[in-house]
Structure 1
């Protein structure tokens, strides 16, 4: 193995802290994660903040803020009806009055003790954290931002790409070797970014469905089409990596047992694309039946296949396996 696969802290150390908080990112950095991953959405005044979705009832205490009760509404986001409170209806000052909470308390009850402690961070605050720790630790802490619902945000005149690039430029992220990857489940915004920046881009690919910009434009191709040899060759024209659901690489049967690996990894590498896979979690409810109580075994399987990076809610577990696995001479 020529180079260790990178460990991407999925929304921070979200197995231990409410996701997308500075505390979650900081813990992941202290574990040793190579990159921290913020999902980016926009406020009403055009500031990029980190939330898994623009609908924030599951990840903040907005429902307890009676002054915002009238802002609860229903919207169509990427073709799905969503009811709740949406970041684009709040200024940054109003967002800063909210506090984060655990998104999946039924699985991570231990994280609920932190509910209400931390604000929703801006992209700039996350960059500041990464840069401060890079200086403190003497190693680059990368950032791995995702543009969430870019077609939707562009449709309401709050496009994500321009403020993202402006913020990155202002913070010295310019070149293709900068410690950053920009990711999206859509294609057209990555193509746009490829024409306007040299920064590395990642095409996200889900197990089912199709990019929402394809839906809007009438393009009938699905995510499955994107991982064919021709689809990967096309991605390689504008992106440097793919970020794929791990079941695309090693499918599961209807009993949740693993099947034989596909050729997607080899085909992606053949056209020069790195392959990052998501999402690794320690809880048995997320593991295949092959590895009950043994998340380490799942990592070992995918590292042995030669992936270039993994997204993990538990950076400490990922790092312990990665460092042990890559210390073995397997050449």
Structure 2
């Protein structure tokens, strides 16, 4: 055989051997597959994680992690107390927690970035700065009801979506339903956003795009924080306040509504709380297990939210017609598309949400002619 052919054959053999070596699963590959496999028992998956991330263990255990929790009422609030109640559950997953309460989302966000917190639990709107994909879950009009949210979260916790949960140095470790958000007004004649022209509308002070959208409606945006939003509504500094229904009692919004106000009977968004962790503290496999645990408690979390919301008198609801609801749907779709094109919302999440909506209502206009 000629030397050139021998060299060619050796190079080919080398390539085959190299490919075979690359294709053969390593021990870490097998452990990762086991850790991410929901068909295995929790104990089997945790053991695989221990072997896979032995470098993170101290005396055979994951060191305690500091979880910072936002609650408008601090240590006396329902979110913080629910987090404390779950400490034992997380210990079963192999994670010991130290929990600290924050009343300011902005301070909490900065402490997470600075490494003062190993993970943070706060609103999905705030979480968007850490993961635009899951931060788009709360997009206006994207999730009409609890059943839509349940299906969406079922899809998201699939291990196939694990990569979408990671962005930069952070990983989304769970999302919990916070219930529907509605429009609270101090005058029942403001029965829709178009009728809010000339009125003072609360917007988040860290979201300038919200202010732009309110200006497009001819209303006056009033920057506010989550903490001060309720008091501004109650003292008349704002006429219109978009807020989760649970805020009615927690923020005592009935004070601002008085005798003339009400709640527009149309949920414009389904809100979430999201747990964002640092990837160097919570590897992919641990985050996956925690996300699955969050979803397994979906109904339980909803019951807690419902208990905190309590009963709301029927006369407070402001009815809107079917025509007005259709107008809302079109207006919100246009807003989502605009915000997607500006890089505010994630297009993949909006597309997934549209598929969920069409799963329940396939005859809807957006299913035949999708824009998202």
- TM-score normalised over the length of structure 1: 0.28
**Quick check: which has more Rg, 1 or 2?**
2
Structure number with the higher helix fraction is: 2
- TM-score normalised over the length of structure 2: 0.26
